[in-house]
Every structure is written in C-alpha cells, then in structure tokens.
Structure 1
Amino acid sequence: MTTALLTDHYELTMLQAALADGTAHRRSVFELFARRLHAGRRYGVVAGTGRLLDALEDFRFDEAAVAWLRENDVVDGVTADWLGDYRFSGDVHGYAEGELFFPGSPVLVVEGSFAEAVVLETVFLSILNHDSAIASAAARMIGAAGERPCIEMGSRRTHEWSAVAAARAAYVAGFAATSNLQAGRSHAIPTTGTSAHSFTLLHDTERDAFTAQVDSLGVGTTLLVDTYDIAEAVRLGVEVAGTSLGAVRIDSGDLVSLAHAVRHQLDELGATGTRIVVTSDLDEHAIATLAAAPVDGYGVGTALVTGSGAPTSGFVYKLVAREGNDGTLLPVAKKSLDKASVGGRKYALRRRSPQGVAQAEVVGIGEPPVDDGDDRTLLVPMVRGGRRVHHDTLEDARARHRDAVAELPAPARRISRGEPVIETIIESPEEHP
C-alpha cells in the first residue's frame, strides 16, 4: 500500500506552485527537530526510524492515487504527472533508533530537491512524533521500574494501528513484551497474556475459572485475583495450581499495601516463587511508588500509549538551507518570535567526559563540531541517492538505547520535573577557524 497520501493537502499545493515558477528543483535541506522537550522531561527517545524508512520506500503516487488527485482537483495536470513519476533520489541522515534527543537535536536531515523533500514532511512527522513520544514515556517507566519487567498492554486505549506502533516504540525503550499480537507478528516482539475478569465471571465459581485456566495453560500461568476477594482468590489459586503457581495479577485497589499482603500470604502458603504482577492505570509515577513493594512486574496501558501526558514529541520539519542563484547552498531560517529556527545544514555529536559521561549535545552548522576524542557522532547515513542504506533491527535499537541512557549523568534517572539533563550547544563555523 502506498504511503504517499498520508500527507497534508498543502504539501501538494506548495509543490504545484514551486513547479510552476521553477523553484521546485532547487537543492534543499530540511531538518526535523524539537524546539523543546515536553515540560519537565530530562531527555527524549528517538523511535520510529525503521518505520519511517519503510514508509519512504513505499512512498509512490500510484495510478489510483494520481487519479484521485486529478478527480478532486487537488493538483493540476503538470503536478499530477510529476507525482506519478516521483521517486526520492536524495540523502537522509538521522539519529539512529533508540538514540536520545534534546532541544535542537537535528534528529533527521533530508537533502534533495525542494519538490522531493517537501512532500515527505507530514508522513515523517506523523511517524516520529508518535513513536518518539511513546518511547520517551516508556523510557521513564523503565527507569522507574528498575530491573522489574514492564509489559505493554494499551491496545484498547488507542487507534488499532497506533497500538502496533506503540508496542514497537515501547520495546525499543526496554519494555519486555506486549499483549498486541499484530506487534508480535510484524516486529517479532514477545507477546504475553492470560485472562481478564470476564473469564472468571463466565464460570460458576472462581475455583472453576482457575481450574480451567491452569488445566489449559499449566501451573506457570498468571491468575487474576481481584475479581472478588483477593485473599480468598490467592488461597484458591495456590490450592488449584500448587505452590509452583507462576504469578498472580492485581488490577485494582491500593497496589502497595495489597502487594505486601499478597506476598506475605503467598509465602505462608509455600508459594515463595510465585510472582506478583500489577496493572491498573500505571504510569511512571505510580511505578515509582511501588519501588519498595514486593512487585515482580508491571503491565502498562493507557499512560504508555498516550505518551504519559505528552502524546507528541513536538517535532517540526523546517527548510534550513536552499540553493541560491549562484548554485551555493544558503542558510534560511524562520524568524517568528516563539517559533524561530536556526539556518544551515546541521551536524551533531554527544560531548562526553573522559569517563564517558554525556556533557552536552553539540550541533555544528555547515560543518561537524570538533570531536575532542571522547565524543560520539550522532547522525548516521540512512538513505544515499534515494537508496536505503540503514537496516538496523529492533534489537540494535534496544541495545543503542541502553547504551545511550547509561552514559547520561545521574539526574537523568529522576522522574521528577526538571530541565534537559544536558544542554544543547549550537556552534557556527567561525567558532572553529
């Protein structure tokens, strides 16, 4: 299926006017970045890069799409013909998936003709804004959870395909599994799930429900114990499955006190290896309050798939350089008071101490910043001459994310509100004669 119509009408009206006056073929550089982080966040997480590159490969105005554009007078005949032959032939550099970003980070740099690059704006922004918002929230939850695993289970709280993308983004940031089967099929993410309250209510007694589940799934299953009385359900669960019962799940109530009570009861019953999993509208703050409770894992839904209060990353896609009449590349910038951009093609590195601790995001204009020997280059080639050259796996992204978080200074791990954990430094070429 083509991704070309996952765009806004004005992308094509700009294209039409630029084709008409001859500026459409000017060499241009677009940059995707965030002016600021969501209020109180210490860093952001790049996610969706793989999906973006897939979307670019499928970005073709096929016969049906072009016919629809003609029939609805979206573009004129010349523009429709141009779109029918569209193939991106430029270059894309970007922060690899799992990497961290800060205000002003040039997360994606797209170079090509104005015509080729401008029509990619909406689809690129829609993917990276959504997936990076989910991954950024997920990273905070993983930080609060420590070594305890988190399971993504928010499918019913968002659009059906957003749910698949959310599961993928959460996995990049360190979630262990998802409840979404399409995410499992599409992205090879581990899936998990046992039963809901409806299964217990279906049966004449809670014992019948537990017996049916254990008979079908084995003693290692997870029993949901808060349909009626939790203490009685825990007793029944161990009676039915034995002391090798895999886990119990608590989905309501005061989770801290209940976790302590259930742990004590399980231990008294001899089920010392039975794990306790908690759900119930968890976010990073709720997970943090459970840090001292005897909890073995978290199931997270609504807060995760809505970005825990920040459903978008605030990315914008701006023209930062374009070809002048003499053929040179000229910096251009938006000068709006609260939406200004910085002109010029960007390069970036993560400045680190000799001990490998991140100190700053350094962005060079027109040329790469100087590496003092301890720094790390951030932009990697993704597309060259229209051909995809970046093929990282999700496991690559997960490993990169772990490494990037590990090099941050200690305040980054706090989930309390605060400023970005490192500053962004913009360097102009004249600073390095």
Structure 2
Amino acid sequence: MTSALLTDLYELTMLEAAREAGTASRRCVFEVFTRSLPEGRRYGALAGTGRVLDAIAGFRFDDADLRYLRGAGVLTEETLEHLAEFRFAGDVHGYAEGELYFPNSPVLRIEGTFENAVLLETVVLSILNHDSGVASAGSRMITAARGRPCIEMGGRRVHEDAAIAAARAAYLVGFASTSNLAAGAHYRVPVAGTAAHAFTLLFDGEEEAFRSQLASQGAGTTVLVDTYDVEQAVRTAVELAGPELGAVRLDSGDLGEQAVQVRALLDSLGATGTRITATGDLDEHRVEELKDVPLDGYGIGTKLVTGGGHPAPGFVYKLVEREGADGTMQPVGKRSASKATLGAGKAAYRMRVGGRAHAELVLPGEEEVAEFERELTAELTSGTSHPDWARTSLRPLQQPLILGGELVETLRAPERVEAARIRHAESVAELGIAADDGPDGPVAIPTITDGTEAARLLG
C-alpha cells in the first residue's frame, strides 16, 4: 500500500485548480508548527519524523489508487495522469526526532512547488500529531517515574497500527519496553510480558497457576498477585519460587498502601530482591503521587497511548512563503483572529546560557538571524555586555532531512529510534526540569521571534 491516499480530497482538488490557473508550479514554503501547548505542559516532544520521511518516500499513486480516483469521478483525466507521475522532489528541513518543541517551533519546513508540497499535508500532520501526542505525555511520565523503568502496554486501547506507532514513540522518550510484539519486530523495541488474570483463573487454584508459570518462565518471572488475596498470593509465590522470585505485579486497589505492605512482606520472607511493579490506569500525576512508595516500575497503557488527555498537539501545516508573479519569494500568512500565521520561512535555534536552555529563537529569514549574530558578537567584544552574553550559545534546531526528493540519511528504522531516544534525553536535560517540580507548570522557555527581544531577555 502506498501512502498517497492517506490524504484529504481537497489536497487533490486544490492541486487541480492550481494547475488550471497556472499557479501550481510556483515555489512555496510550508511549515509545521503548533500555536500553543496544552495547559500545564512545559514542552512538547517531537516524535514521528522518521515515519514521516518513510511516508514521503512512499507517496506515489499506484494503479489501484488511480483506479479508485478515476471511479470517484472527482478529478480530470489530465490531473490523474499528473498524479501517476507524482514524486516529491522538494526539500524538507526539520527538528531532529526526539527534540523538544514549543509554541511556534517550526518543527518541519517543506519547500517545493505548490503542486509538489501541498499533497503532503494530511499524512504529515496525521503522523506528527499522533506520535508527538504520545511522546509528549510519555516524556512527562518518565520524569515522574524518577528513574524507575516504565513499560508501554496500551496496545489494546487504540487502533492496531496506532499501537505500534505509540510503542515506538514511548520508547523514544525513555520507556524501557513494550508489550507490543509488532513494535519489537519492526523497531527493535525491547518487549516484556508474563501473565494476566486470565491465566490464574484458568487453573483450579492460584498455587497451581503460579507453579505452572514458574515452571515455564523461571523464577525471574513477574507474578500477578491481586486476582484473589494479595497477601496470600505473595506468600504462595515466594514459597514456590524462593527469594529469587523476579517481581510481583499490583494492578488494582490502593497501589500506594498495598506496595508498602507487600514490600514489608517480601522482605520478611527473605525476598528482598523481588521487585514490585504497578499497573492500572496510571498517568504522570498518579506516578507522581507514588514517588515515595516502594515500587520498582510501572506499566502504563491507556493514558499514554491516548496522549494523556491531549491526543493531538495541534500541529498545523501552513503556507508561509510563495513565489510571486514577478518570480520573487514573498511571505504570506493568515490574519484571522487567534489563527494568524507569521509569514516567511524561519530558522530556529535553542538559545542556551551556560548550557541551559533559555529561549526558542525563531527568526523569519536569513537577515534576522544574521542581525542577531552581529548583535551577539558586538556585545561580546564591547567589554560592557551583560555577563550572561559570554555564556550564550545558539544551537541550530533544523537540519536537512530530504534534499531534491532524496533522503539525506539512510538509517534503518531501529537506528532512527535509538538516535531519537538519545536526542530526547539530552534535550530534556538541557531544560533542567527536576522531577520534584511536578508534572505541570508554565511553558519552560519563551519563543522569541526577533533578535532585539532576545537581547532584552538577557539584559
């Protein structure tokens, strides 16, 4: 299956109308950004870029696609012939996957002719909105977990294909493993899983169920202990497995109170190395509440894979610059209330002071960037500058992803995910947010759209 029909009809009708008007070949710049973050979110986590690149590479109309469109009767034969030859031939620049984003961060910039670039809107937004929604929620959960490993286990709560993408996004932001085998096979995400309540209920007694699980999976397995009576289940499991029992899992009830009781019981039975894992409709706020409880890990599903209450971060795909009738590039943008768009293609930098993220610098056009760099240099050489200027640096955020229709990097899917996982950890560390700050708070750094405002921020 190609990715060409993962789009909205109006992308094709716009293309047809532009071709008939003679404007389809005008050079254009589109940008992907979100106007705001959900309330309480300090940052967003970008995920899905690797999947976007694959979708663009596979965006072509095969015979089956064209037969469907011809039968739908919505396009002319001339347009269908054009689509038969379609290949994206433009450039794509963007933030590295795993990077953090803030309001108005241009996480993706697509350059090409209108007819070449407009068709990508829906598939790009579909992937980035889904994957970044999961990643943004998951990153908060990882911070709240304070180093305790988290398992992604939400595959039964979303569409089967979305489950794979969600597992990928969760691993990218720090989850240790997934229960989803397809994600393990395609992206090499570590997989984890032992037994559910159904396994215990299959047997005539809990002891028989535990004995069978231990015989099959070994003493290092994780035993689910809340099917009947938690205390009795723990005693039975330790009696059968000995102190080498790997872990017990709590899935219901007052997890905090039970964890304290189970830890004391395990220790009294000599199973001091047996871990306690908690599952059961957890999110970052619940994990935060459990921070002082003797738990060793979390299994998180529904609240993760559905974006923690914000399944779509609100990414939009907007035309910000286009070729005019005179052949020059001209900034364009909406002026409507609450949805105004800053025109022109933009460069983005993470402004750091002493290695700590200080602002998101988003400047329209090369001259704005050059002006700020000149001002920074002048301040550093004046001898009277604010002391923070000497510790200031700009980290470029955009990098070439596709040039002339060809992918710049050729990493395999698992390698892309590992690189993004490292990038995300580094970007979060750069913010300096501590787990004790709690999940919610103001946006971590401001987005600045002109160089003089950046100077005022330091002064």
Whole-Å separation in 2 of the counterparts to 1:85 and 1:270: 70
Cα pair 1:140 1:415 within 8 Å, conserved: no
Alignment match, 2:125: 125
SS of equivalent to 1:309:
coil
Whole-Å separation in 2 of the counterparts to 1:200 and 1:263: 22
Matched, 1:291 2:295: no
Cα pair 1:143 1:413 within 8 Å, conserved: no
Matched, 1:357 2:350: no
Q: Compared with structure 1, are the counterparts of its residues 306 and 413 closer, same or farther at alpha carbon in structure 2 (3 Å cutoff)? A: farther
1:344-383 counterparts in 2 under 5 A?
344-353=344-353, 355-367=354-366, 369=369, 370=372, 374-383=393-402
Alignment match, 1:422: 445
Post-superposition CA distance 1:379-408 (Å, at most 9, x none): 010000000003452111011001000010
Post-superposition CA distance 1:53-100 (Å, at most 9, x none): 011111001111111111111211111111110011100000110000
Alignment match, 1:75: 75
Cα pair 1:42 1:412 within 8 Å, conserved: no
SS of equivalent to 2:308:
helix
Post-superposition CA distance 1:224-271 (Å, at most 9, x none): 000000000000000111110000000001000100000000000000
Moved more, 360-369 or 423-432: 423-432
Percentage of matched positions with identical amino acids: 58
Residue identity matched to 2:165 = A
SS of equivalent to 2:304:
helix
Whole-Å separation in 1 of the counterparts to 2:73 and 2:19: 16
Q: Decide which of 365, 388, 407 is 1:388's aligned counterpart.
A: 407
Runs of 4 or more above 6 Å deviation: 428-432
Residue identity matched to 1:42 = R
Alignment match, 2:222: 222
Cα pair 2:151 2:177 within 8 Å, conserved: yes
Unaligned runs of 5+ in 2: 377-391
Whole-Å separation in 2 of the counterparts to 1:415 and 1:232: 36
TM-score, structure 1 as length reference? 0.97
Cα pair 2:448 2:454 within 8 Å, conserved: no
Alignment match, 1:24: 24
Whole-Å separation in 1 of the counterparts to 2:410 and 2:41: 29
Residue identity matched to 1:360 = A
Q: Compared with structure 1, are the counterparts of its residues 238 and 267 closer, same or farther at alpha carbon in structure 2 (3 Å cutoff)? A: same
Whole-Å separation in 1 of the counterparts to 2:248 and 2:56: 44
Q: Compared with structure 1, are the counterparts of its residues 381 and 203 closer, same or farther at alpha carbon in structure 2 (3 Å cutoff)? A: same
Residue identity matched to 2:68 = W
Whole-Å separation in 2 of the counterparts to 1:98 and 1:136: 10
Alignment match, 1:212: 212
SS of equivalent to 1:338:
coil
Going by fraction, where is helix more abundant, 1 or 2? 2
Whole-Å separation in 1 of the counterparts to 2:231 and 2:207: 13
Query: How many matched pairs?
Result: 431
Alignment match, 1:397: 420
Cα pair 1:153 1:179 within 8 Å, conserved: yes
Whole-Å separation in 1 of the counterparts to 2:201 and 2:55: 44
Instruction: State the Cα distance separating 1:415 from its structure 2 match.
Output: 3.8
Instruction: State the Cα distance separating 1:414 from its structure 2 match.
Output: 3.4
SS of equivalent to 1:242:
helix
Whole-Å separation in 1 of the counterparts to 2:435 and 2:26: 42
1:305-344 counterparts in 2 under 5 A?
305-344=305-344
Instruction: State the Cα distance separating 1:347 from its structure 2 match.
Output: 0.6
Alignment match, 1:192: 192
TM-score, structure 2 as length reference? 0.92
Matched, 1:410 2:410: no
CA RMSD across the alignment: 1.6
Whole-Å separation in 2 of the counterparts to 1:203 and 1:254: 26
Cα pair 2:334 2:341 within 8 Å, conserved: yes
Instruction: State the Cα distance separating 1:428 from its structure 2 match.
Output: 7.2
Residue identity matched to 1:92 = V
Cα pair 2:152 2:179 within 8 Å, conserved: yes
Cα pair 2:141 2:287 within 8 Å, conserved: yes
Moved more, 106-115 or 59-68: 59-68
Residue identity matched to 2:313 = S
Cα pair 2:143 2:435 within 8 Å, conserved: no
Whole-Å separation in 1 of the counterparts to 2:159 and 2:300: 16
Whole-Å separation in 1 of the counterparts to 2:437 and 2:168: 24
SS of equivalent to 2:94:
strand
Alignment match, 1:155: 155
Q: Compared with structure 1, are the counterparts of its residues 235 and 431 closer, same or farther at alpha carbon in structure 2 (3 Å cutoff)? A: closer
Cα pair 1:412 1:421 within 8 Å, conserved: no
Unaligned runs of 5+ in 1: none
Post-superposition CA distance 1:148-179 (Å, at most 9, x none): 00000000011111000000000110000000
Whole-Å separation in 2 of the counterparts to 1:122 and 1:272: 53
Q: Compared with structure 1, are the counterparts of its residues 80 and 380 closer, same or farther at alpha carbon in structure 2 (3 Å cutoff)? A: same
Residue identity matched to 1:414 = D
Q: Compared with structure 1, are the counterparts of its residues 428 and 320 closer, same or farther at alpha carbon in structure 2 (3 Å cutoff)? A: farther
